Amino acid sequence: MNGIWILLLLILSALLPLIIVFFRFKAGKIQITLPWFLAAIVAGIVSLLAAALIQSLFPHPAKDGLGQLLFGVFIRIAMAEEASRLLILFPLLRAGNRLKNSEMAFCAAIGLVAGLGFAAAENASYGMADINITLLRLFTAAPLHGACGLRAGAAVFLAGRNLSRSVFLFGSSVIIHGAYNLMILSPALPSLLSVAIALIALIISLPLLNAAAGENTDILSGSAQ
């Protein structure tokens, strides 16, 4: 295949989840203007760069082992990436007091787009080496980062309203992300488990898009208080 067509396929496959979400939002109840949508994508890309910087500060493990593996997947990768996501989303959602006047659904939607922007940039970078990786990650990394982005956006919204729930959303995103990484990196575990974790995480996080301001929807049980 001609190099230019490979490049176009790479770009399109990396952006496909964002394109789908954009038109889904346009057809649904969540109204996100194009400037906010683009700002969220930029926030996702910036959070990827921030995560890479944070991860570079961790020392390389002196030896292999289960402890080092768990530290790597849950702390060095998952916690660093989720923390960078929060750090970048917080000022974006606070800009112009939009957070004060918006609903949780809006913040979760911005988080979703930022998560997909993160995944698109990451997928494109991997795809430069092997485009098949990009196509595979459409079904793993994209839903995983989308789910964690949803939780991050909601966590920012709830930070000044329900701190314990905000911390729960952040902590659960780290656990989900770490479990996904563990499935990917451990040769003893079936790789299909990573797909299952990513898709299940997205499905159980989607109710955040329906949560109005003031609601305390329990993502795991579906109950409201």
Its domain, for residue 31, covers: 3-210
Mean pLDDT score, 175-194 = 86
The verdict on residue 220 lying in a domain is no
Rounded Cα distance between 133 and 155, Å, is: 31
The verdict on residue 216 lying in a domain is no
The pLDDT value given to residue 169: 97
The verdict on residue 219 lying in a domain is no
Query: Predicted confidence band at 28 (pLDDT cuts at 50, 70, 90)?
Result: confident
Per the structure, the count of domains in the chain is 1
* pLDDT single digits (tens) 128-157: 666 655 666 667 889 999 999 999 999 999
Q: What is the pTM of this model?
A: 0.87
The verdict on residue 218 lying in a domain is no
3-state helix, strand, coil in the chain (%, to 5): 80, 0, 20
The verdict on residue 95 lying in a domain is yes
The verdict on residue 221 lying in a domain is no
**Cβ neighbours of residue 133 closer than 8 Å, sequence gap 6 or more:** 123, 126, 127
More confident residue, 123 or 147: 147
If we measure between CA atoms, which residue out of 168, 171, 169, 196 comes closest to residue 182?
Answer: 196
Rounded Cα distance between 62 and 167, Å, is: 32
Return the ∠ at Cα 45 (arms to 39 and 49), rounded to 5°: 135
The pLDDT value given to residue 96: 47
| 80 three-state secondary structure | helix
Residues 47 and 114: beta-carbon distance below 8 Å: yes
Q: Count other Cβ atoms within 10 Å, centred on residue 153.
A: 31
What's the whole-number average pLDDT of the chain? Answer: 84
The verdict on residue 46 lying in a domain is yes
The verdict on residue 115 lying in a domain is yes
More confident residue, 194 or 225: 194
The pLDDT value given to residue 213: 43
